[in-house]
Chains A and B, each alone.
Chain A
Amino acid sequence: MPNRDEIYAKVSSTLQEALNVDEEEVKPESTLQGDLGAESIDFLDIVFRLEREFGIKIPRGELFPESIFQGDPDFVQNGKVTDKGIAELKTRMPFADLSKFEQNPEVAGISDLFTVEMITNYIQGKLDGKN
């Protein structure tokens, strides 16, 4: 079983290949879209690569959930995610760190939850058999 550093190193090299970025650009807190320039199709490519790299199955929408709220007013009001919405995010993405997001829960900020560290957490949980 790889330790966290080994998992991180593999996640980092996977992202370097998928997004054509340099090693120095990939940091734990780097956001996939904002910092590393990932586009929608890259998310699928990343999932494929992680599956091959770690020998795991990543069900559709588990690592990168699509349209979590679907315009549900219970979850989103005036462009902000409600408490109920945040609870939903925590359930769907237990591997994401929401502490910063909760301070300013704008819908547009959801994409910033997708970081290198988040993927590392997800993979670690997956390998531990917790997810």
Chain B
Amino acid sequence: MRWLWIDRFLEFESGKSARAIKNLSLAEDLFADHFPGYPVMPAALLLEGLAQTGGILVGEANQFREKVVLAKITSAKFGREALAGSVLIFDTEILTLRPEGASIVGKVYAGPAAASPATFAGPPHTPLGEAEIFFAHLDQARSQQLFGEHNFVFSGELKKLLGLNKILASS
């Protein structure tokens, strides 16, 4: 089982941008320790949510043929905290996409659970954090023999997230 930090995609434009949602429940295991009485999502996990949203966006652009790995977080800024009960929106956009890798810029927004994502995810709302993330295509950056044919990055859960979107779109 993989630790997924997004629930599903709200929008997905192949090769360009993706928006995903994460409902932050007080029942999340991490809030037991982080912190008792003050359930706040660690910024590192907000980054992970952005990286998962952006990573799937980058992977899908090449039909998941490439092993997309997070190579570098070039910049990251967080101004506010995300507490349990929030709905998080991860907005990502591809800056550069090349055979060797890709870079994305991402923003995290948070709103109360009752709000519709559309009312708080767009611009005038201020993001609580933003980051620029750089992904490498493993086989292009390193010898293919090292990792073989099997694409361990997009083996299951990450790809299924896009499938979930299709099910919801058709229902």
Which A residues form the contact surface with B (CB < 8 A)?
17-18, 40-42, 44-45, 48, 51-52, 60
Q: How far is the CA of A51 from the CA of B74 in the complex (A)?
A: 16
For window 59-102 of B, CB contacts with A under 8 Å fall at 71-72, 74-75, 95-96, 98-101
B5 within 8 A of A: no
Contact check: which of B95, B99, B134 meets A60 at CB < 8 Å? B99
The list of the 9 closest CB pairs from A to B, nearest first, reads A48-B96, A41-B71, A45-B134, A48-B103, A41-B72, A44-B101, A44-B100, A45-B72, A41-B136
For window 35-67 of B, CB contacts with A under 8 Å fall at none
Known: A48-B103, A60-B100. A42 touches B95 (CB 8 A): no
A52 in contact with B100 (CB, 8 Å): no
Which B residues form the contact surface with A (CB < 8 A)?
71-72, 74-75, 95-96, 98-101, 103, 134, 136, 141
Q: How far is the CA of A44 from the CA of B95 in the complex (A)?
A: 14
Q: Dominant SS at the A interface?
A: helix
A44 in contact with B74 (CB, 8 Å): no
Chain B proximity of A39: nearest CB distance (Å)? 9
Q: Which residues of B contact A42 (CB under 8 A)?
A: 72
Q: How far is the CA of A63 from the CA of B101 in the complex (A)?
A: 16
Chain B proximity of A8: nearest CB distance (Å)? 22
Chain A proximity of B74: nearest CB distance (Å)? 7
A41 in contact with B96 (CB, 8 Å): no
Closest to A42 in B: B72
Contact check: which of B98, B99, B141 meets A41 at CB < 8 Å? B141
Closest to A41 in B: B71
Closest to A45 in B: B134
**6 A-B contacts (beta carbon < 8 Å):** A18-B74, A41-B71, A41-B72, A44-B100, A45-B71, A51-B96
Q: How far is the CA of A52 from the CA of B103 in the complex (A)?
A: 11
Q: How far is the CA of A18 from the CA of B103 in the complex (A)?
A: 12
B99 in contact with A44 (CB, 8 Å): no
Q: How far is the CA of A17 from the CA of B73 in the complex (A)?
A: 11
Q: Which residues of A contact B71 (CB under 8 A)?
A: 41, 44-45
A52 in contact with B95 (CB, 8 Å): yes
Q: Which of A42, A44, A51 has the most CB of B within 10 A?
A: A44
Q: Which residues of A contact B96 (CB under 8 A)?
A: 48, 51-52
B100 in contact with A45 (CB, 8 Å): no
Known: A44-B141, A48-B95. A17 touches B74 (CB 8 A): yes
Q: Which residues of B contact A17 (CB under 8 A)?
A: 74-75
Known: A48-B95, A48-B98. A41 touches B134 (CB 8 A): yes
